[in-house]
Structure 1
């Protein structure tokens, strides 16, 4: 399952980044708290494919499907 698959109000633990994700994105996401073992919650899932909002620790970030679909979660 990927981060993009999370429904609003649900949470999961980051497992890994897909190999298709550029190393610059991996580094930046890790700096923001999106790293393996971290608990992530989907706080808003707007309709029509708009970016979703995810809570990491006490901060909320917006990720679109092109990035969130390359982060695997369990």
Structure 2
């Protein structure tokens, strides 16, 4: 199961704790690197999808479980 994580109120230090390191930024996007994978986040709608329940727990109230793929 994945988790939709809003980054609206997540501190940069919390993202770094979960292994999401900011590597680039422009007026519209932020790029985070997580275990070698680049994740592009829109500044107007900042969210990421995480698979790890431990990462989701770090983000706390900003997490919404996604429905199973077979629904």
TM band (smaller chain)? 0.3 to 0.5
Point out the structure with max Rg over C-alpha: 2
Normalising by structure 2, we get a TM-score of 0.40
More strand by share: 2
Normalising by structure 1, we get a TM-score of 0.38
